[in-house]
Amino acid sequence: MSSRIFGSGIRRREDPRLITGSATYTHDIVLPGMVHAAMLRSSHAHARITRIDTEKARVAPGVVAVYTGADIEGALQPVPCAWLLPDSQLRIAPYPCIAKDVVRYTGDIVAAVVAETPYQAQDALDLIEVHYDPLPTVTDPEKAAGDDAPQLHAKDINGDDIPGNQAFHWTVAGGGDLDAAFAEAEANGVVIKERILQQRLIPNAMEPRGAVAQYTRATGELTLWNTTQNPHIVRFLCSVVTGVPEDKLRVIAPEVGGGFGSKIAVYPADFVTVFCSKTLGRPVKWIETRSENYQATTHGRDHVQDIELAATKDGKITGLRCTVHAGMGAYLSTAAPGIPTILHGLMLSGCYTIPALKEDVYGVYTNGVPVEAYRGAGRPEATFMLERLIDMLANELDLDPADVRRRNFIPKFDDGHEVVTTLNYDSGDYPGALDKLIEHTGYQALREKQKAGPSNGKYLGLGLSSYVEICGLGPSQVAGAIGFQGGLWESAIVRFHPTGKVHVFIGASPHGQGEETTFAQIVASEIGVDAGDVKIFHGDTDSTPMGWGTYGSRTTAVGGAALALAVRKIRDKAKVLAAHLLEASVEDMDYEDGKFFVKGSPDKAKTIQDIALMANVAWNLPEGMEAGLEATTFYDPPNFVFPYGAHLAVVEVDASTGQVELTGYTALDDCGPQINPVIVEGQVHGGIVQGVGQALWEGAAYDESGQLITGSMLDYALPRADLLPELDVISTVTRSPHHPLGVKGIGEAGTIASTSAVYNAVMDALKPLGVKRVDMPFTPERVWRAIQEAKGS
Amino acid sequence: MKVPVRITVNGRLFEREVEPRLLLVHFIRVFAELTGTKVGCDTSQCGSCTVLIDGVSAKSCTTLAVQADGANVTTIEGLADGEKLHALQESFWNKHGLQCGFCTPGMILASHELLRTNASPSDDEIRHGLEGNICRCTGYQNIVRAVKDAAEATAAADK
Ligand code: FES
Ligand code: FES
């Protein structure tokens, strides 16, 4: 079975606990003597706090303690930003765990209550009186950068001013003479200009965030259960903020109910929960409500993009110039500065040969929730720019969008291709992917159907999106060079027990992606044990080796590689021991499917189980060999991996109502060899739907005073089952030349491609109606208005 | 003020004095100590908290414990028959109908309701039947497959 387990869609081992309600999420942790915390969040988006009166709350039934900003002073350091973007005039504003003087968004904590029950804690919040002096607010990133915008922060952490609310200004430029390219295009070619609003999105992992902190005074030890994608980073930063030394700090990510980027950051409320436990000497639980999640857990996107594309008359791109105002929210969240820059700007040339480009990204403080990674993180915003402008170019030149893509694709390559932003893509066949998609979907026939005109007032639209993305983050040396304050390697420990059963301890921290199953498949395929004999441990910093977290589609790509290499070390040792036991020389040994034998004599083989027993009892080891059968690997990838693909969305737009219906969707993705194709397909489904959500329904909105008006699931439109068609998912397989298993990543691909595919499809449908531009999401009202405006003009 | 309630959860009777405002979901999670039922929102939108009250699905975050006085509540923990999984649990597992699993208890019980009222639903009927349950991970496609699969398995078993 072992050779076939790689590539097999076996059922997930995670599922039995999840489908029976036996899994333990953070909210499910109950400890003796535990009390409950609730956070009072600011009622203003920007205000000076003039007075806080907590007396009534303190004496309310069940209340154990009430803390304000004054109480944590000295005990909790500001929340650190851990991506120090170089050469960007980075200005990190102090990010307090509890706001003391000024609140800067409605998620700022102004006080915390601890009570015997969650209801009592919640009740007591209403008894805290906070007096505010409101200040002017700004939530639009471009306006926030303007001269007359209210200034959010007096000084950054180094005591410097933060003029124009500018958190950073980052530039990427490469290739030839960009000005000349645009001058030439103005004279003899075409220049396409567009403004794209990548609206703010709310990640909406179905499990709200939370923390349970248990501090033991006698030992000074702290255990923190936390809804996180990266428990080791939490341990690292929690130690910095709370002062609990790393060796006394255990972070456990139990079952985690999705993250999509929103559980990467470290958060004030989690540290406040730690503070409460330390101060009271009791276990403290804090679980956010969904409304609180909207109000204070990181959001995504929020770009105002101004883009210009230069091209020849026959549709060859000659230059790309962009300015992005990226809303950062009130503070710089943990990884925030790297998202609209490194993960965005460096991918700006996508699947295409672009001779010259430049992008300026302004990170701007606004009175909103801090913006962080959200599925795709920077790459959907880059893909969207290109894919949208290419469609506009096709319209301008009256060419089919597929043809314009073909005219600009990087030709097929299988061992490295350096692009204009200096990244070295690993392998890809972008023209091949598009051709296959077009053939599979009957694209030409759909175009013919479209030519027949609307039926029943419904306009058909087709939207393509070709993408390549960067994931498998990444070489640690590069991490250092781009200012990421951590490494990006992964590690795994593989331990064989005497009966041949295996324990794997891994630093990666999957939270729904199914990698307990995928990892077991890797072990089984590498050394011929049954996948069912392999137990995977993750998410507990006391038992697992260091890991840098599950995000950026890196867990199978980097953690999986570490694991495969650890198993290969074991295989090497097992081979030496088998040779010794068979009285042969190592060079004469062969290995197949968990059996070690002298070449030509497979019948006299030692199985890996035999070897595990002999290594563990150690009665007869070769000279110098250590007992046991265990290996540890630290895998630092030599490069990123670059999955790619092409998607097609088909929509119908009802011109009389503005209603958009997604009627078909086909995704072709290439993430290299698939360890478990069923899991891969599931990742693609989920990813696509999140991207579709951005195009059609989702968007966080603030009012003039900085109040979040999409503050609950009632107001924020999430994709639902009845709004979606059956998705058609196909794939090709291109190995990564530098990866031990050849695999790339798949967690974000769907989201990266689908927003632009759907957007292009809707605009394609609206083309005969003369509509040029609509901001996402395509609500019926917006589409209808755009149609009316086009009619009027 | 507290009021007495008698609620049977998965066959076990719990007699407790509760605040009238206590939500059924908290009764289940705190008093019955069954944490499989999840809370995903505070506006009755997500369906994570779905349970069966006397065999009919209900959102336990929008039901007061006192409203369930005298009722038989079934949660995800009570769906399997001992070791034997319910057809829906099997099918969600077989069809990869879950990822992070947080929506899953509610999704399975909402699907239970769907199949109770329509033994062989079309894809469309499944999608409409589950519109009160949000899953952020799966994109719903494999959930639809799972419900369909369970309907077929149940029909085959009944033959
Ligand atoms: S918890 Fe969301 S509907 Fe009940
Ligand atoms: S499986 Fe994660 S929300 Fe449905």
> Is the domain of A720 the same as that of A767?
yes
Domain assignment of residue B27, yes or no: yes
Q: Calculate the CA A552 to chain-centre distance.
A: 5
Is residue B141 assigned to a domain? yes
Model pTM?
Answer: 0.97
Q: Is residue B107 part of a domain?
A: yes
Same domain (yes/no): B55, B92: no
Same domain, A627 and A646: no
Cα–Cα distances in Å, from A593 out to A575, A634, B154? Answer: 13, 25, 39
Question: Is residue B13 one of the residues assigned to a domain?
Answer: yes
Indicate the top mutation candidate among B28, B39, B64 to test ligand 1's pocket, ranked by most ligand atoms within 8 A of CB. B39
Q: Is there a single domain that holds both residue A430 and residue A532?
A: no
| Number of domains within chain A | 3
pLDDT score of A544 more than 50: yes
CA of residue A285 to ligand 1 center, whole Å: 20
Residues A606 and A719 in one domain: no
A290: nearest CB among B43, B105, B124: B43
Question: Which pLDDT band, with edges at 50, 70 and 90, does A4 fall under?
Answer: confident
Give B-chain residues touching A687 at CB under 8 angstroms. Answer: 139
pLDDT in tens, A696-709: 999 999 999 999 99
- For residue A205, is pLDDT > 70? yes
Chain B 87-126, CB below 8 Å of chain A: which residues? Answer: 89, 92-94, 96, 98-105, 108, 123-124, 126
* Dihedral sign computed on CA atoms, order B23, B26, B30, B31: positive
b/e map A125-142, b = 16+ CB within 10 Å: bebbebebeebebbbbbb
pLDDT in tens, A122-173: 999 999 999 999 999 999 999 999 999 999 999 999 999 999 999 999 999 9
**pLDDT interval class at A793 (50, 70, 90):** confident
| B18 part of contact set with chain A, CB < 8 Å | no
Q: Does A280 lie in the same domain as A227?
A: yes
The residues facing A648 across adjacent strands are A464, A666
Tell me the residue range of the domain where A8 lies: 2-17+489-635
Same domain, A407 and A522: no
Same domain, B70 and B94: no
Beta-carbon contacts of residue A74 (< 8 Å; ≥ 6 apart) = none
Place of tokens 């967690």: A747
* Structural contact between residues B104 and A19, judged by C-beta atoms closer than 8 angstroms: yes
- State the pLDDT confidence band at A525, using cuts at 50, 70 and 90: very high
Residue closest to B112 by CA, chosen among B79, B83, B137? B79
Q: Does B25 map to a domain?
A: yes
Indicate whether B11 pLDDT > 60.
yes
Residue A558 and residue A523 share a domain: yes
Which of these three, B77, B96, B125, is where a domain ends? B77
Same domain, B132 and B154: yes
CB within 6 Å of ligand 1 — which residues? B 39-41, 44-49, 59, 61
The answer to the question of residue B64 being in a domain is: yes
pLDDT at A3 over 60: no
Task: Work out the pLDDT band at A340, boundaries 50, 70, 90.
Answer: very high
Does any domain span residue A456? yes
Same domain? For A421 and A500 the reply is: no
Query: What is the arithmetic mean of pLDDT over A386-411?
Result: 98
Q: pLDDT band at residue B1, thresholds of 50, 70 and 90?
A: confident
Confidence (pLDDT) at A792: 87
Share of chain B above pLDDT 90, in %: 97
- Please report, for the domain that includes residue B109, its CATH number: 1.10.150.120
- Judged by CB atoms closer than 8 Å, whether chains meet at B138 and A682 is answered as yes
Residues A243 and A129 both lie in one domain:
yes
Residues B9 and B72 in one domain: yes
Question: In this structure, are B36 and B92 located in the same domain?
Answer: no
* Final residue before a domain boundary, out of A603, A635, A667: A635
- Residues B70, B118: one domain? no
Q: Is the pLDDT of residue A534 over 50?
A: yes
In angstroms, the CA A53 to CA B128 distance is 49
For residue B47, report the distance from its CA to the centre of ligand 1, in Å. 5
CATH number at residue A127: 3.90.1170.50
Task: Write the residue in B42, B76, B94 that is nearest to A289 by C-beta.
Answer: B42
Average pLDDT over residues A735-744: 96
Mean pLDDT for the stretch of residues B22-46: 98
pLDDT tens for each residue of A443-501: 999 999 999 999 999 999 999 999 999 999 889 999 999 999 999 999 999 999 999 99
- Domain contains A365: no
**How many structural domains comprise chain B?**
2
| DSSP-assigned letter for residue A558 | I
- Residue in A260, A690, A713 closest to B43 by CB: A713
Residue nearest to atom 2 of ligand 2 (CA): B100
Mutational pocket test of ligand 1: of B27, B46, B63, the residue with most ligand atoms within 8 Å of the beta carbon: B46
Whether the CB of B70 is below 8 Å from some CB of chain A: the reply is no
On whether both A271 and A224 belong to a single domain, the answer is yes
Q: Which residues contact A32 (CB under 8 A, 6 or more apart)?
A: A283
State pLDDT tens for residues A281-339. 999 999 999 999 999 999 999 999 999 999 999 999 999 999 999 999 999 999 999 99
**pLDDT confidence of residue A156:** 97
pLDDT > 90 fraction of chain A, expressed in percent and rounded: 99
Cβ-nearest to A19 among B38, B40, B92: B92
Question: Which of B42, B77, B112 is the last residue in one of the domains?
Answer: B77
CA distance A134 to A49: 9
| 3-state SS, one letter per residue, for A277-328 | HHHHCCCEEEECCHHHHHHHCCEEEEEEEEEEEEECCCCCEEEEEEEEEEEE
Angle at A548 between CA A547 and CA A552, to 5 degrees: 130
CA of A712: which chain B residue's CA is closest?
Answer: B43
Query: Of A578, A608, A635, which residue sits at a domain end?
Result: A635
Same domain, B105 and B56: no
Confidence bin at A523 (pLDDT 50/70/90): very high
Q: Let me know whether B93 and B153 are in one domain.
A: yes
Let me know if residue A541 belongs to a domain.
Answer: yes
Domain boundary among B45, B77, B109: B77
Do B115 and B96 fall into the same domain? yes
Query: Is A778's pLDDT higher than 60?
Result: yes
CA distance A718 to chain B (A): 8
CATH of residue A682: 3.30.365.10
Query: Rounded mean pLDDT of chain A?
Result: 97
Asked if residue B51 and residue B94 are part of one domain, the reply reads no
Cα(A626) to centroid(ligand 2), Å? 45
CB of A455 within 8 A of CB of A440? no
Same domain, B38 and B97: no
Task: State which residues form the domain around B43.
Answer: 3-77
Smallest CA-to-CA distance from A576 within A562, A561, A589 is with A589
Q: Is A713 within 8 Å of B99 when comparing Cβ atoms?
A: no
Please indicate whether, in this complex, the C-beta atoms of B134 and A206 are within 8 angstroms of each other.
yes
- A177 belongs to a structural domain: no
Q: Is B21 on the interface with A (CB under 8 A)?
A: yes
Q: Domain check: are A626 and A648 in the same one?
A: no
Model confidence at A1: pLDDT above 50: no
d(C-alpha A60, C-alpha A80), whole Å: 34
For B67-114, write each residue's pLDDT tens digit. Answer: 999 999 999 999 999 999 999 999 999 999 999 999 999 999 999 999
Instruction: Give the closest residue (by CA) to ligand 1 atom 1.
Output: B39
Whether residue B42 lies inside any domain: the answer is yes
* Contact check, Cβ <8 Å, B99/A513: yes
Q: Is the pLDDT of residue A2 over 50?
A: no
Domain of B32: which CATH number?
3.10.20.30
pLDDT at A664 over 80: yes
Q: Does residue A100 share a domain with residue A38? A: yes
- Say yes or no: B75 contacts chain A, CB-CB below 8 A: yes
Same domain as B93, residue B148: yes
The answer to whether residue B82 is domain-embedded is no
